[in-house]
Structure 1
Amino acid sequence: MRRAGILMPISALPSPYGIGTLGAAAREFVDFLADGGQSCWQILPVCPTSFGDSPYQSFSSFAGNPYFIDLEDLAAEGLLEPGEFRDLNWGDDPARVDYGLLYETRYPVLRGACRRLLEQDPPDFAQFRQEHGDWLEDYALFMALKERHGGVSWFQWPEEERLRRPGALAAAREELGEELAFWRAVQYLFFRQWKKLKAYANGKGISVVGDLPIYVSGDSADVWSHPEQFQLDGEGRPTEVAGCPPDGFSADGQLWGNPLFDWERMEADGYRWWIRRIASQFQLYDVLRIDHFRGFDEYYAIPYGETTARNGRWRPGPGIGFFRAIEAALGPRDIIAEDLGFLTGSVRKLLAESGYPGMKVLEFAFDSRDTGGGYLPHCYTPHCVAYTGTHDNDTIQGWMSSAPAEDVALAKAYLRLNEQEGYHWGMMRSAWASAADLAVMQFQDLLGLGSEARMNIPSTLGGNNWRWRTLPGTCGGELARRLRREMEIYQRLPAQ
């Protein structure tokens, strides 16, 4: 079945409170998708952001982002008074997220809501704690200890807490009981609101497509609570870290810095940690995009302490045995493999054996630095997902303005682009017209925005990364009608 979707991060939804949330604007966006003939809403990871405000660097790969909890919905439930949040300073620019301001302002408001929640003791709270107990207690303790130590990385905590000495952890649980209760309650509120939003989307015929980073942050509850699953030394520090080697896009490569998995150890216990992780993702999403699929075939390991990715080496990943273990435990799942970049024959073989659809990014098709990727639409087979660009790419209009002249000329000739109509519509139309079973567009491209709306520039920190937001009123009826007409033309309307 031919389908279409929109990539729109939760953080980028309009809201008067500094960042997009799971509230009314999210439901309005679902309505827009349904009116526009879409089948899927793709988002970025919804886990709590840490270093660099990136959703791909999180304090937990299981927890939800507290910033996404909608304050108006909390007020409607009686957990907040309007005066406790409506008159606060949430930032001067509604088109940008101010993460520093959010950190200072959001948590005091949430503490008030959680205090009332715990006083009410909702009947399903104990059940929530039980269902999520395999990660929730470690996460709550991790966040409470991080707060006590001024927010520093757990690598800098006292040894007895850093290395999880039982006596030290028992003492911390007793001393930080109120903090533990707060962090549990925050997660309860997130998952309760998320469950309602997902039910609303599914009720409108919209499937939610989530995004799973292959790696987790070093400064996370994941690594602190399960150090045996990672390549760490006796002090809990990484021996090697993740990244990508130098290529035509980056002379130094990409130094991500994430600790690497101990794949031999994981295989020996049947990949139990990974099975729990992916199972938790399918509690949130209908479809899951797994980032950096190549890393399961072979992964790039950089010695800890290096300042660039130049001196790394390729090491074998878990291969098809990993995915067979996942399917044996969880059954067949709707998974998209992020197979972008230089692909070896063994990666292509792994993709074919997995049975997952890969990705095709149209902007890559005209990049003179990259050949042989099969990104031109006439090369697509049905079993793939077509994008004009992802969160790591420029917008279409931004790309047309900044790409080398010969690349832009080729795109204009191949796609028969018309400046009067807007280059973005011509490029999106080519993806919709392709044979790909699913075609996903960035919402910024529907609006015809330039580089100012780009979500992320890989290998950079700060700046405008992860900060773009849309303004109220952009999901209008006229745009939905035009989008639906394109779906009719290219036979991507949902089945009735």
Structure 2
Amino acid sequence: MRTSGILLAISSLNSKYGVGDFGKEAYKFVDIIQKTGFTIWQLLPLNPLGYGNSPYQPYSSQAGDEIYISPDLLYEQGLLKKKPKPLENNDRVDYEKARKLKAEILKEAFKNFKKDKDYEEFIKFDFVYKYAVFLTLKKANNLNIWNKWDKEQKNWIVDRKLDLSKYNEGIEYEMFVQYIFYKQWTDLKKYANSKGIRIMGDIPFYVGLDSLDVWENQKSFLLNKNGNPKFIAGVPPDYFSKNGQRWGNPIYDWKYLKENDYDFWIKRIEYNAKLYDILRIDHFRAFDTYWQVNARNKTAKAGEWIEAPGYEVFDLIKKKFPKLEIVAEDLGGLRKEVLQLRDHYNLKGMKILLFSLDPNEGNNNFSDKKNMIIYTGTHDNQTAMGFFESQDRKTKDYIIKLFKEHNYDDENITNGFLEMTFDSIADYAIVPVQDILGLDDNARMNTPSTLNNLNWSFKLNSMEKLEEKTDYLHKLLKKTKRI
């Protein structure tokens, strides 16, 4: 079935509290994309942000980050006596100020919260209490990583010997925060579903060392006796990075995971399937082969490819979740076995239009097909306009000529990229909001292998320009038979 969608992180929604949240702007965004004719809203992970505000290094693969909680909805719920004062309006997300403000607001709301049946039901989820303990102990240790805590604290997850009574209030508070996150998110998702919009969530393949996942499941990872990784994840050198990418995530102990029926992965999928309608698995190729680097190495240059038991894992996933739609992030130079694994389970793969127009990119010169998602770009790429502006005259002329030949808009380059994407034979076509608005690389969401304040900080400061494009987009989706 031909359909279409839009990619926008919750954090990028406009907000007077420093970062996008589950409040009225999110509902307004749903209304706009419904009017346009899109049926998929693709997000970035909603888990607690880790180092550098990256959603791909979370403190937990199941918990949610409190910064997405809407203060306005707390006020409407009666948990705040007065409306919170907004922050100064910035053009970009300000994580530091937003986190500080949200913490103050949530502490106030916690004082006025009364437990109900919904809350008691929610805290039965396996991760909730353990994550609350994890975060409470982490805060008691100045946010230090769990393997630096004292022995009793570090071992609580295994032996439950530590007396937690002095931490009870902190633990109760963290469970409250997770409940509010879950409630606000599921309300928003229900609203989107009622408008015919499905939510695509994003699951990182790896988890961060500094996480509940690793603390609780230390035997599931290749760690030394001090809880540090023996080996870490990354990717080898390529056109974009001469030293490769050294991500630092611990590597799974697949032998141990197999002995336990891959329960770690099954639980992750099970809970995320409650939060989203479609799951995109980031770095899918690692289910076939993954790049393993000795943790002592300072770059990812010296590593080796190790085979993973992808078929065993997906046999179980498909058996337990037969109706769940899973998308494989299969970008980059891959061996044919990765694609065979993807196709064996009939998973949709991905294609980036910009890569196929880039004379320096050799990994995307394959034909479009029905069972795939085509994107102009993703959160890790230049915007379409930024890409075009950065090309030499010869490449620009080639793109314009291509647009002319196919009767795409060759004067408004933004529209040309959109028309080419939606005209693809791919069943799904998804575009980042930046490409709908024709924004340049100042609006880029992330530049891989870099740490700076621009990454993850794009903000959609106004919905007006997006609303102005709804008629054009609606006609385009009709013309390309996506509605």
Classify the TM-score, shorter chain: over 0.9
Aligned length: 481
Q: Deviations for 1:126-177, whole angstroms, at most 9, x for unmatched residues?
A: 11111x1x1111110110011101111122212332244766x543521200
* 1:8 aligned residue: 8
Identify the residue that residue 410 of structure 1 maps to in structure 2.
398
Selected match of 1:439 from 429, 453, 460: 429
Matches within 5 A, 1:69-468: 69-83=69-83, 85-87=84-86, 90-93=87-90, 95-117=91-113, 120-130=114-124, 132=125, 134-164=126-156, 169-371=160-362, 373-375=364-366, 379-416=367-404, 421-468=411-458
Match of 2:67 in 1: 67
1:28 aligns with 2:21: no
State which drifts further: 476-485 or 281-290.
476-485
Structure with larger RCO (C-alpha < 8 A, sep 6+): 1
* Partners of 1:216 and 1:258 within 8 A in 2: yes
1:200 Cα deviation after fit: 0.3
Q: Contact 1:115/1:182 (CA < 8 Å) preserved in 2?
A: no
What secondary structure sits across from 1:16 in the alignment? coil
The 2-side partners of 1:15 and 1:112 are apart by: 20
TM-score, length-normalised on structure 2?
0.96
Distance 1:426 1:178 in 2: 56
The one-letter code sitting in structure 2 at the alignment partner of 1:380 is D
**More divergent stretch after superposition (120-129 vs 194-203):** 120-129
The percentage of counterpart residues that share the same residue type is 36
Conserved in 1, the CA contact under 8 Å of 2:289 and 2:305? yes
Q: Which runs of 4+ in 1 moved over 6 A?
A: 417-420
The one-letter code matched in structure 1 to 2:344 is E
Q: Check whether the contact 2:350–2:372 (CA below 8 A) recurs between aligned residues.
A: yes
Shift, 1:380, TM fit? 0.7
Q: Which amino acid aligns with 2:413?
A: Y
**How far did 1:408 drift?**
3.4
The 3-state SS of whatever aligns with 2:463 is coil
Normalised to the residue count of structure 1, the TM-score between the two structures is 0.94
Q: Quick check: 120-129 or 241-250, which moved more?
A: 120-129
Question: How big is the alpha-carbon RMSD for the aligned residues of Structure 1 and Structure 2?
Answer: 1.7
Q: 1:475: Cα distance to partner?
A: 5.7
Q: Measure the CA separation in 2 of the matches of 1:162 and 1:349.
A: 42
Q: What is the CA–CA distance in structure 1 between the aligned matches of 2:23 and 2:453, rounded to whole Å?
A: 27
Q: Report the alpha carbon displacement of residue 330 of structure 1 after superposing the two structures with TM.
A: 2.0
Give unpaired runs (5+ residues) of structure 1: none
Q: CA deviation at 1:443?
A: 0.4
Q: Secondary structure at the match of 2:279?
A: strand
> Does the aligned pair in 2 maintain the 1:47–1:61 contact within 8 Å?
yes
Partner secondary structure for residue 302 of structure 1:
strand
Q: Is the 8 A contact 1:11 1:20 kept in 2?
A: yes
SS in 2 for 1:336: strand
Whether contact under 8 Å (2:409, 2:415) holds in the other structure is no
Does the 8 Å CA contact 1:337/1:359 hold for their aligned counterparts? yes
Deviates more, 1:192-201 or 1:156-165: 156-165
